[in-house]
Structure 1
Amino acid sequence: MTDNLTTREQPDRSTINMNQIHEVRYWTKHLNVSKQELQKAIEKVGNSAAAVRNELAVD
């Protein structure tokens, strides 16, 4: 997702940035997981949203 919250660009949802609080909030809600579960999945497979979805078995 874009780091500049004042722009109206389409967010980049292909990667997950754990350093951006709004992204962590979005992804934990979207994937229905805790922040710790999200972090573990990212540590295991990288920050690709598709890879994290596969790891967490979320469609």
Structure 2
Amino acid sequence: MSDNLNNRGPQDRSRISLSEKWEVQYWTKELNVTEEQLQQAVKQAGNSVNAVREHLAKLH
């Protein structure tokens, strides 16, 4: 099954994938962070959206 490029939201909204540029753009906008901040948060907290949100909240 091919990806639907018209659907710009992630397939699994509980996980953050850094492998697709459009998904990185989605999460940077959704979480109001830069791409670098997103990458660091995923590196430190894992790819769970909840874990990344908690991690980012501790930084602010």
Q: Mark yes or no: TM-score above 0.5.
A: yes
* Structure 2 segments unaligned to the other structure (5+ residues): none
More helix by share: 2
> What corresponds to 1:4 in structure 2?
3
* Structure 1 segments unaligned to the other structure (5+ residues): none
Q: 1:51 to 1:6 in 2, by over 3 A?
A: same
RMSD: 2.2
Moved over 4 A (4+): none
TM-superposed CA distance for 1:11, in Å, is 2.7
TM-score normalised per structure 1: 0.79
Give the alignment of 1:24-35 within 5 angstroms.
24-35=24-35
**What percentage of aligned pairs have identical amino acids?**
44
- Separation in 2 of the partners of 1:6 and 1:31? 21
TM-superposed CA distance for 1:6, in Å, is 5.1
Question: How many residue pairs get matched?
Answer: 54
